[in-house]
Amino acid sequence: MPPLIDRKKCKRCGLCAEICPEDVFWGSQKKKYPRIKFPEECWHCGACLLDCPGQAISLYIPLPMRVCSKQ
């Protein structure tokens, strides 16, 4: 599942597009809401989530990709 952007929190800084290693936000421009051009390319790495200054991005990581550790 691709990243979800909360438009109320988004500062339109373009940092998510700059930081994404797979260009999921390809074609996005600063001062505009980011567009998710290639959602199927998302690796769920969380780079956009961690670097978003407005905390506007949420990411649902599919169950098979979650890391579970039992202690």
Is residue 26, in this structure, part of any structural domain at all? yes
Q: Is 62 left (phi over 0), alpha (psi -120 to 50) or beta?
A: beta
Question: Under 8 Å CB-to-CB from 54, ≥6 apart: which residues?
Answer: 9, 10, 11, 13
Q: Tens of pLDDT along 39-57?
A: 999 988 899 999 999 999 9
pLDDT of 44? 87
What range does the domain containing 50 cover?
Answer: 1-62
What pTM does this model have?
0.78
Position 68, amino acid? C
Q: What CATH number does residue 42 fall under? A: 3.30.70.20
Share of the chain above pLDDT 90, in %: 66
The reply to whether 5 falls in a domain is yes
Helix (H) or strand (E) holding 58: strand 57-58
Rounded to whole angstroms, how far apart are CA atoms 26 and 62? 22
User: Looking at the 3D structure of the chain, how many domains does it have?
Assistant: 1
